[in-house]
Amino acid sequence: MFCVTGTLRRAWPGKWQLFDAEGVRVIGEWHARRDGEPSNREIAETLNEAAGATEAAGFNRSSSDTSRDTDVIT
């Protein structure tokens, strides 16, 4: 298994932007929403997709897709 990193930022009132590990290329964007930033699952899937992984490694796919606090990382 490998580790994929990135940087998540938001310049209010703009979108959330996820940058690659070098902080150069935007690999994901999300509109601001009431419940805050993108979930851990959304971030992991975007990072892994940019790195060429087929799934967001570490996530239990049978868990309910709820909030940042309840996403399950195994």
Provide the percentage of residues in the chain whose pLDDT is more than 70.
Answer: 69
Lowest mean pLDDT among 8-22, 33-47, 51-65: 51-65
The pLDDT assigned to 66 comes to 46
What is the band of 63 on the pLDDT scale with cuts at 50, 70, 90? very low
Contacts of 22 (CB under 8 A, 6+ apart): none
Rg of the chain, C-alpha, whole Å: 12
Q: Using a cut of 0.85, tell me whether the model's pTM lies above it.
A: no
Whether residue 67 has pLDDT greater than 90: no
Do 20 and 50 form a contact (C-beta atoms < 8 A)?
yes
Residue range 19-34: average pLDDT?
89
